[in-house]
Amino acid sequence: MDNKRELIFKATEKIIASKGLQGLSMQQIANEAGVAAGTIYRYFKDKDELIGELRKNVLRVVASHILKDSGEGTLEQRFIRVWFNIVDFGRQRTPANLSYEQYIHLPGIDSDPHQTFENATFSELHVLFEEGKDAGVFHSLQNKTLFAISLEPAVALGRNIRRGQLKYDKAELELACSLCWQTINKQDNQIKLSNLTNKERSGQ
């Protein structure tokens, strides 16, 4: 990536993380990046385009962390790795982490172009879910539903650890991960339902 473009991204992340989006100006960004304000306009036509491109850049950073080694091992091993990658990334106090929580809610996040970009950026995660469904291991739900019930808890846990609302407890996180795996594991749930039915039949 162009060095000045990267400087502009990092400067914008830092300002958003510390001061928020309100009142963010190109001059502030230029001062933080150590470049002339006119330099920013060589790369971005306005602030909206800069923030839109920054959002994409952060998505790439997030994906590179949480999808690390996501294609190696069994479905369960891959799921566990992604789950803990999410927690570990979320508990880090980085500018990208702090700023992303603020601008994911900006207009345009639900637009078709952005959704297409997001799906492509996290394609390895979609592959994991599709392989699980094709193998009859995961419930036949939409991928975003599978993410919401199995991986979003990891997002919340990482954020709460970063904020000091939870202490990092590996054993507790391992149990939480196991419970999340069970929510989408059709085979595991079938065994549990079968056991429950057998107990009911026997009057237990």
For 33-59, the pLDDT digits (tens) are 999 989 999 999 998 889 888 888 888
CA-closest candidate to residue 89, choices 70, 109, 112, 110:
70
- Please say if the pLDDT value at position 203 is more than 80: no
Q: pLDDT digit string (tens) for 164-199?
A: 999 999 999 999 999 999 999 997 655 443 443 444
Count structural domains, the chain: 1
Residue 13 lies inside a defined structural domain of this protein = no
For the chain, what's the residue count?
A: 204
Residue 185 lies inside a defined structural domain of this protein = yes
Residue 50 lies inside a defined structural domain of this protein = no
Least confident of 3-7, 122-126, 175-179, 198-202: 198-202
Say if residues 157 and 90 touch (Cβ distance below 8 Å): yes
**CATH at residue 154:** 1.10.357.10
Gap between the Cα atoms of 55 and 21, Å rounded:
13
C-alpha distances in Å from residue 48, one per residue of 57, 58, 201: 14, 15, 62
Residue 8 lies inside a defined structural domain of this protein = no
Average of per-residue pLDDT across 128-151: 97
For 138, the 3-state DSSP assignment is strand
∠ CA 74-127-97, rounded to 5°: 95
Domain that includes residue 96, residue range? 71-201
For 185, the 3-state DSSP assignment is strand
Q: What is the DSSP string of 3-30?
A: HHHHHHHHHHHHHHHHH-STT--HHHHH
Gap between the Cα atoms of 198 and 37, Å rounded:
71
What amino acid occupies position 118? E
- Please say if the pLDDT value at position 71 is more than 50: yes
Residue 168 lies inside a defined structural domain of this protein = yes
- Please say if the pLDDT value at position 103 is more than 80: no
- Partnered with residue 132 across adjacent β-strands are none
Gap between the Cα atoms of 32 and 104, Å rounded:
22
For 89, the 3-state DSSP assignment is helix
Between 108 and 129, the more confident residue is 129
The residues near 101 (Cβ < 8 Å, ≥ 6 apart) are 159
Residue 163 lies inside a defined structural domain of this protein = yes
Question: Nearest 5°: phi and psi at 142?
Answer: -60, 150
Residue 144 lies inside a defined structural domain of this protein = yes
Residue with tokens 């297409």: 116
**pLDDT-derived band of residue 82, with 50, 70 and 90 as boundaries?**
very high
Residue 27 lies inside a defined structural domain of this protein = no
